[in-house]
Amino acid sequence: MSMAVRYVVQDELALITVDNPPVNALGHAVRSGLLQAISDAEGDPAVRAIVLTCAGRTFMAGADIKEFGLPPQEPSLPVVVQRIEDCSKPSVAVLHGTALGGGLEVALSCHYRIARQDAQIGLPEVKIGLLPGAGGTQRVPRLAGVAKALEMIVSGAPIGAPDALAHGLIDELCEGDLQQAGINFARRLLKDGRGVRRSGEQTAALAQGDNAALIQAKRAEVHTRSPGLFSPPRCIDAVEAATQLPLAQGLVRERELFQQCLESPQRAALIHAFFAERQAAKVNGLAADTPTRNIEQAAVIGGGTMGVGIALCFANVGIPVKLLEVDGQALDRALQRARDTYASSVKRGSLSQAGMDQRLALLSGTTQYSDLAQVDVVIEAVFEELGVKRQVFEQLDKVCKPGAILASNTSTLDLNAIAAFTGRPEDVVGLHFFSPANVMRLLEVVRGQQTSDTVLASAMALGKRLKKISVVVGVCDGFVGNRMLFQYGRESECLLEEGARPEQVDGALQGFGMAMGPLAVRDLSGLDIGLAIRNRKRPTLAPEYALPNLLDQLCAAGMLGQKTGAGFYRYEAGSRTPLPNPALLELLPQGATAPSTEQILERTLYALINEGAKILQEGIAQRASDIDVIYLNGYGFPAFRGGPMFYADQVGLATVLAKVREFHQRLGAWWQPAPLLEQLAAQGRTFSEWETGDMNNNKDKP
Ligand code: 3H9
């Protein structure tokens, strides 16, 4: 028996325990161990029933994702699952934690299932570009009906154990020791003379609704909501097979569809995104056991949209937070903004009134720095101007207790300069939230030159507590996300000056999968903000780095984007629908040949990638996948493309470089190829194969 699966026979019961930390993924050792255990139980006359449990924090959370794309190793999961279902002795699975994907499929192949009240049950394969490939698409509709199966399989979202019970996916809830609960259940089975009950043989739930109509409606929904995705339509095809074919043939169809998904580039990109997100939590040069500071009370300086959003993040996870504003009026406005935000969540139904009251009770206001003496972390979110930041940090340095973390939400300014306004630069760190801060999951954690390891580790732990995806970045203008965005925005504007129309540029990028086009995004955030950043940058640029001047012209004409009803597009009062802006069209060249969709994509995406390569080489990002995580979670880059750096690897760095060189010759200095791109392309390597090492300490690599 493999180490990952234990097998004991006790009083007529075979007790099988899967023990494969951290999440009991169904890697080769677990699959072969399970197969062996079932065969042993089948062949042992002393065994009358089987109890399957998992050790550690969770039931099996699915197939081992790391094995996808590698040569398959027998036994496959479908074989194991079928063997469990075919067994002539009744089996019961005891679910706890997250019974997901292949883990749930194993449970469904057992003849009975019980689950802890707080267990989560789901088929999340679609989120990694797959579909359940070990019978999930055939057994869930047979047990829970087509509507529930479509909901679970196409969304990938887990359901709670009570919901699973209501839909016939489990038989009862249990508590206490998992194995004992399983033993008790199995004994009752034997006492009542209940034998095997195979999910694959159930049919009642399949006859419950108008399956053809449900399937048609789901197809239409997927077509509108996620037109570019490969696996959701195939999930539906597989469920449809369950309604039309006997189990054995349905399983063959499922297998074919699974295989198609497995081979799709989207699967590779989405699995890259999954691991990239987990990798981002690991900081080079920072020991995993670095101590962290206790955070029980927080404060936010500045009650604008960003400051209030950040304060809500704390209240949402139960941390008391003080909001500081310059005067009573500004403070009232800020607190009202917080109340309004929660009230609209209550109205939408995403928050209860009690939840709102609880959160508001954690939020207090002040106009006095002295009130911040006891807080454990302060986040400054005031106007982006170094002089204003100075005043704030000098005050904080005076009043905050030793050991308080002093954080800045700056998105462009030099964190090292900000740290130097205090006598404790080791306690200063950047926490760059994305707007709206209470919604967006990305957090750039900026490691200053003197930020201590403890403060960095504490900032990462805080990010996790705030339910953010935190990525460590180094200090430079715009850090990772906005520094790359500058090139992307600049290039999209240049395309307009060369004859493209805003809807062509945005349409090309939305067709690629971006949540919004770059010009519509600029209208949303305000053109004056973009212009302010550009004007700050202009004096630092050598003459050959010319900037387009459409932004200047639009701002001069009072067209600042959505807030003024016009920018790159025009907006009807109260509407966010972008319409052509005739005033902009007058500023654009007439009669020029518009660039093709392919050219638009190359110009904008390769601008991102070339800058990303420079960022990587400078050690501003630790690894290419961190840049991907930032773009996937903060900038609407499509997950099924894996992020800009992964996309570049897929296209091939030699191909990207050839274009970058061509643009450099034709369009000038901004397109200077990144040396790292040249180096990796020459070596036939990818960005993913390159790791920066310890940040801020590797200026001469590679
Ligand atoms: C499938 O089942 C296909 C079948 O239908 C058909 C097959 C034929 N494999 O997220 P965490 C690692 S597809 C390998 O930080 P949490 C993860 O990388 C699968 N590794 O913890 C991390 O490693 P590290 C369907 C996995 O508590 C560590 O475990 N299932 C897997 O926040 C901890 O993970 C899924 O898609 C895996 N399946 O969340 C479930 N899962 O420490 C995917 C996790 O080195 N997993 N790891 O960074 C999850 O959604 C979450 O991990 C889970 C725990 C909710 C389970």
**Which residue carries 């982006």 as its tokens?**
384
Residue with the smallest CA separation from ligand 1 atom 11 is 278
What CA–CA distances, in Å, run from 674 to 337, 486, 597, 605, 612?
A: 44, 16, 24, 14, 9
> Measuring CA to CA, how many Å separate 407 from each of 10, 426, 433, 436, 456?
58, 11, 11, 18, 11
Q: Ligand 1, residues 18, 20, 23: which to mutate, most atoms within 8 A of Cβ?
A: 23
Q: Is the pLDDT of residue 692 over 70?
A: no
Establish whether residue 64 lines the binding site of ligand 1, counting it when its CB lies within 6 angstroms of any ligand atom: yes
Say how far apart CA 429 and CA 438 lie, in whole Å.
20
Q: Is 678 a catalytic residue?
A: no
Angle at 185 (CA atoms; ends 184, 187), nearest 5 degrees: 65
- Spacing, Cα 61 to ligand 1 middle (Å): 6
* pLDDT for residue 1: 57
CA torsion, ordered 310, 315, 318, 322, to nearest 10 deg: 90
For residues 630 and 541, state if they share a domain: yes
* Residue 255 within a domain: yes
Residues 96-113, buried b or exposed e (16+ Cβ, 10 A)? Answer: bbbbbbbbbbbbbbbbbb
pLDDT confidence of residue 696: 46
Active site residue 125: yes
How far away, in angstroms, is 60 Cα from ligand 1 center?
Answer: 9
Q: Which of 85, 125, 277, 444 is an active site residue?
A: 125
Q: Is 510 helix (H, G, I), strand (E, B) or coil?
A: helix
340-371 per-position pLDDT tens digit: 999 999 999 999 999 999 999 999 999 999 99
Q: Is the pLDDT of residue 701 over 60?
A: no
Which backbone phi and psi does 95 adopt, to 5 degrees?
A: -100, 135
Catalytic residue chosen out of the listed positions 12, 74, 85, 105: 105
- Indicate which residue's Cα is closest to atom 27 of ligand 1: 23
Tell me the CA–centroid distance for residue 146 and ligand 1, in Å: 26
Q: Are residues 519 and 458 in the same domain?
A: no
Domain C-terminal end among 263, 288, 321 = 263
Are 563 and 466 members of one domain?
A: no
Token code pair at residue 558: 């009072």
Q: Ligand 1 within 6 A of 98 CB?
A: yes
Q: Looking at residue 156, what DSSP letter applies?
A: -
Ligand 1 midpoint to CA 496 (Å) = 44
**Do 336 and 430 lie in a common domain?**
yes
Same domain? 535 vs 440: no
Ligand 1, atom 4: closest residue by C-alpha: 102
The DSSP secondary-structure symbol of 621 reads B
Cβ 22 under 6 angstroms from ligand 1:
yes
Q: Whose CA is nearest to atom 30 of ligand 1?
A: 62
Three-state secondary-structure class, residue 513:
coil
The tens digit of pLDDT for each residue in 425-452 reads 999 999 999 989 999 999 999 999 999 9
Any domain includes 293: no
| Tens-place pLDDT, residues 34-76 | 999 999 999 999 999 999 999 999 999 999 999 998 899 999 9
| Spatial CA neighbour of 379 closest among 397, 405, 416 | 405
| Helix (H/G/I), strand (E/B), else coil: 95 | strand
Distance CA 510, CA 641 (A): 13
Indicate whether residue 62 lines ligand 1 (CB < 6 A).
yes
**Ligand 1 atom closest to the CA of 120, numbered from 1:** 55
Separation of CA 62 and ligand 1 centre (Å): 7
Per-residue pLDDT, 574: 86
CA distance 611 to 687: 13
Q: Exposure of 588 by Cβ count < 10 A (0-12 exposed, 13-18 middle, 19+ buried)?
A: middle
Q: Scanning the structure block, which residue is given the tokens 């009072």?
A: 558
Q: Does 18 map to a domain?
A: yes
In short, whether 134's Cβ falls inside 6 Å of ligand 1 is yes
For residues 151, 153, 154, 158, the Cα torsion angle rounded to the nearest 10 degrees is 70
For position 381, which CATH number holds? Answer: 3.40.50.720
pLDDT band for position 111 (cuts 50, 70, 90): very high
Q: Kindly state the average pLDDT of the residues 577-598.
A: 92
Quick one: pLDDT band at residue 698, thresholds 50, 70, 90? very low
Which residue has the least CA distance to atom 47 on ligand 1?
Answer: 23
If asked whether residues 218 and 81 sit together in one domain, one would say yes
For residue 473, give the nearest of 617, 626, 611, 644 by alpha carbon: 626
Q: Is 77 in the pocket of ligand 1 (CB under 6 A)?
A: yes
104 and 193 in a common domain: yes
CB proximity list for 182: less than 8 A, separation 6 or greater: 15, 51, 52, 53, 92, 93, 94, 114, 174
Query: In this predicted model, what pLDDT tens digit does every residue of 211-242 receive, in sequence order?
Result: 999 999 999 999 999 888 999 999 999 999 99
314 in the same domain as 226: no
CB of 102 shorter than 6 A to ligand 1: yes
DSSP state of 541: S
Assess whether 541 and 572 both reside in one domain: yes
Look at residue 426 and tell me if it is in a domain.
Answer: yes
The mean pLDDT value for 685-701 works out to 64
Looking at the domain assignment, is residue 698 inside a domain? no
**The predicted structure's pLDDT at residue 702:** 31
User: Do β-strands 428-433 and 298-301 pair in parallel, antiparallel, or remain unpaired?
Assistant: unpaired
Answer yes or no: are the C-beta atoms of 622 and 664 closer than 8 Å: no
Which residue, by CA, sits nearest to atom 17 of ligand 1?
278
CATH number, domain of 538, equals: 1.10.1040.50
Q: pLDDT, tens digit, for every residue of 135-160?
A: 999 999 999 999 999 999 999 999 99
Over range 658-673, report the average pLDDT.
97
| Averaged confidence pLDDT in the chain | 95
Q: In the predicted model, is pLDDT for residue 323 greater than 60?
A: yes
Residue at which a domain ends, from 440, 456, 473: 473
d(CA 275, ligand 1 centre) in Å: 9
Task: Name the residue at shortest CA distance from atom 7 of ligand 1.
Answer: 133
Among the three residues 421, 452, 473, which one is the final residue of a domain in this structure? 473
The answer, yes or no, to whether residue 15 has pLDDT greater than 60, is yes
Range 396-407 average pLDDT: 98
Q: Are residues 350 and 463 in the same domain?
A: yes
Q: At what angle do helices 597-617 and 644-651 cross, to 10 degrees?
A: 110
Number of domains in the chain: 3
25 Cβ inside 6 Å of ligand 1? yes
Nearest partner of 255 among 84, 91, 32, 82, judged by Cα: 82
Distance separating the N- and C-terminal Cα atoms of the chain: 47
Q: Which amino acid is at 88?
A: S
Q: CA angle 430-433-434, nearest 5°?
A: 145
Quick check: helix, strand or coil at residue 381?
Answer: coil
For residue 696, being part of any structural domain is answered with no
Residue among 641, 640, 639, 658 at smallest CA distance from 649: 641
Residue 366 pairs with which residues in a beta bridge? 324
Q: Ligand 1 center to residue 362 CA distance, Å? A: 34
- How many percent of the chain have pLDDT more than 70? 98
Q: Are residues 43 and 131 in the same domain?
A: yes
Residue 386: φ, ψ to 5°? -60, -35
**Which of 108, 12, 13 is closest to 59 using CA atoms?**
108
Distance CA 312, CA 321 (A): 8
For residue 123, give the ligand 1 atom closest to its CA: 25
434 near 411, Cβ under 8 Å? no
Whether the per-residue pLDDT at 594 is higher than 80: the answer is: yes
Rg, Å, the chain Cα set: 28
* Consecutive H or E run containing 184: helix 178-192
Q: Record the tokens describing residue 540, joined without a space.
A: 């630092």
Q: Across residues 4-12, what is the average pLDDT?
A: 97
Q: How confident is the model at residue 2 (pLDDT cuts 50, 70, 90)?
A: low
User: Is 268 among the domain residues?
Assistant: no
CA 272–ligand 1 middle distance (angstroms): 13
Domain span at residue 440 reads 298-473
Q: In this structure, are 402 and 314 located in the same domain?
A: yes
DSSP symbols for 404-443: -EEEE--SSS-HHHHHTTSS-GGGEEEEEE-SSTTT--EE
Among the listed residues 295, 275, 55, the one whose alpha carbon sits nearest the alpha carbon of residue 182: 55
Is any atom of ligand 1 closer than 6 Å to the C-beta of 101?
Answer: yes
Judge whether 550 lies within some domain: yes
pLDDT higher than threshold 90 for residue 602: yes
Helices (H) and strands (E) in the chain, counts: 28, 19
Q: For the domain that residue 231 is a member of, what is the CATH number?
A: 3.90.226.10
